[in-house]
Amino acid sequence: SKDRGRNTYNFYTHQMDQDINRRLRVEEQLRNALKRKEFEVYFQPLVEIKSRKIIGAEALLRWKNALLGQVTPDEFIPIAEQTGLIIPIGQYVIDIAFNATKKWQQQFQSQFKIAINVSPKQFRENTFIDMLKMQLEKHQIHVSSVELEITEGVLLNGDPIINSNLTSINDIGVSISMDDFGTGYSSLSYLRSYPFDTLKVDKSFINDITVDPGDLELVGAAIAMGHGLNLKVVAEGIETEEQYHLLRSLKCDYGQGYLFSKPLPRAEFEELLQTQVKS
């Protein structure tokens, strides 16, 4: 029994060691990832529900490292946040996404829209607005083409710089979207207090709308409320025709999901866009 006790203890420390090791390894590799050009920006189509046409894309970051292989954003984004590495990484995403957007606007679709995820640390940085303006200028992107997606986490601790950054963003004409709507605690009061343009209903609600009447009711209510507040509504995680048709009947404005396309590397996204323009 003494042995077993020791083994159990060893088992737990071993697991904890592994977790800490993994985190340290990810952090260490993340420090050099930009320099080593290990990131790639993928694009997932943003589709207008009623026409089923691609009207833009969400930029989604991918990281492939020689030692760790492919690491998911759900693992590395929080570590990039905690270490501050999200600042240069976030700027890189905007740079690449604006570059692609400009090209696609010139070649295929002048109204093409780009949505970019901005995490709390990035948003709280007092240089964020200047960086954004600089990138808009550099790529000659019109403000009306850009939407920044923020989660409740950005708004949580009521830092005054957040309010002033949101106001500045709204003033220059860039749109703001509330991402993962419905998963947090205070989404409703935030919608009232801040200048949002778009509400993005979380994919966990879309998942079961065809089987769970409660979820269907909630999504319907979220869309109606969004429209009542003069917001556009995007449904994320649309995977089936059935879900699409329900959302269409609920007058949801835009959608994203594997039904239309997974996030794609730049060249593949461009082919998809090209096909749509020709047809």
Residues that bind ligand C2E (CB under 6 A): 44, 59-61, 72-74, 77, 90, 93, 117-119, 179-180, 203, 236-239, 256-258, 263
Compute the least distance from the CB of residue 58 to ligand C2E, in Å.
7
Compute the least distance from the CB of residue 207 to Ca ion, in Å.
11
Compute the least distance from the CB of residue 198 to ligand C2E, in Å.
13
By a kind-dependent CB cut-off of 5 to 8 A, residue 197 interacts, out of ligand C2E, Ca ion, none, with Ca ion
By a kind-dependent CB cut-off of 5 to 8 A, residue 47 interacts, out of ligand C2E, Ca ion, none, with none
Give the DSSP letter string of the chain: -HHHHHHHHHHHHHHHHHHHHHHHHHHHHHHHHTTTT-EEEEEEEEEETTT--EEEEEEEEEEEETTTEEE-HHHHHHHHHHHTTHHHHHHHHHHHHHHHHHHHHHHT-TT-EEEEE--HHHHH-TTHHHHHHHHHHHHT--GGGEEEEE-HHHHTT--HHHHHHHHHHHHHT-EEEEEEETSSSSHHHHHHHS---EEEE-HHHHTTTTT-HHHHHHHHHHHHHHHHTT-EEEE----SHHHHHHHHHTT--EE-STTT---EEHHHHHHHHHHHHH-
Closer CB to ligand C2E, 10 or 82, in the complex: 82
Find the part of the chain contacting Ca ion (CB under 5 A) among 78-86, 126-134, 197-205, 257-265: 197-205
End-to-end, the C-alpha distance of the chain in Å comes to: 73
Instruction: Compute φ and ψ for 182, nearest 5 degrees.
Output: 105, -15
Q: Which of 81, 125, 147, 180 binds Ca ion (CB under 5 A)?
A: 180
By a kind-dependent CB cut-off of 5 to 8 A, residue 237 interacts, out of Ca ion, ligand C2E, none, with ligand C2E
Closer CB to ligand C2E, 16 or 161, in the complex: 161
Contacts of 174 (CB under 8 A, 6+ apart): 132, 143, 146, 147, 148
User: Under rule CB under 5 A, which residues in 25-54 are in contact with Ca ion?
Assistant: none
Compute the least distance from the CB of residue 213 to ligand C2E, in Å.
21
Q: Dig out the tokens for 154 from the structure.
A: 């950005």
By a kind-dependent CB cut-off of 5 to 8 A, residue 154 interacts, out of ligand C2E, Ca ion, none, with none
# residues near Ca ion by CB under 5 A: 7
Closer CB to Ca ion, 195 or 213, in the complex: 195
Closer CB to ligand C2E, 104 or 179, in the complex: 179
By a kind-dependent CB cut-off of 5 to 8 A, residue 170 interacts, out of ligand C2E, Ca ion, none, with Ca ion
Q: Which of 29, 65, 101, 117 binds Ca ion (CB under 5 A)?
A: 117
The residue ranges that bind Ca ion (CB under 5 A) are 117, 149, 170, 179-180, 195, 197
